[in-house]
Amino acid sequence: MKIKIAVVDDHILLSQAIAGLVSQFENVEVVVICKHGREFIEYLNKEGSTHPDIVLMDVKMPIMGGIETTVHLKAYFPEISVVGLTIEADENIIRKMIRSGARGYLLKDTRKDVLQFAINEVMRTGYYYTSTVVKAMDNKVDKKIELRPREIEFIKLVCTEMTYREVAEEMNLSPKTIEGYCESVFQKLGVKNRTGLVIYAIKNGIFEP
For the cut 60, the answer to whether the pLDDT of residue 137 exceeds it is no
3-129: CATH architecture: 3-Layer(aba) Sandwich (3.40)
pLDDT in tens, 38-77: 999 999 999 999 999 999 999 999 999 999 999 999 999 9
Chain center to CA of 160: 14
CATH number of 149-203: 1.10.10.10
pLDDT of residue 187: 87
Instruction: Give pLDDT tens digits for 138-157.
Output: 444 445 678 889 999 999 99
Q: Cα–Cα distance between 140 and 203 in angstroms, integer?
A: 11
Q: Which backbone phi and psi does 70 adopt, to 5 degrees? A: -65, -40
In whole angstroms, give the CA distance from residue 32 to residue 29. 9
| Residue ranges, CATH 1.10.10.10, the chain | 149-203
Residue span(s) of the chain under CATH 3.40.50.2300 come to 3-129
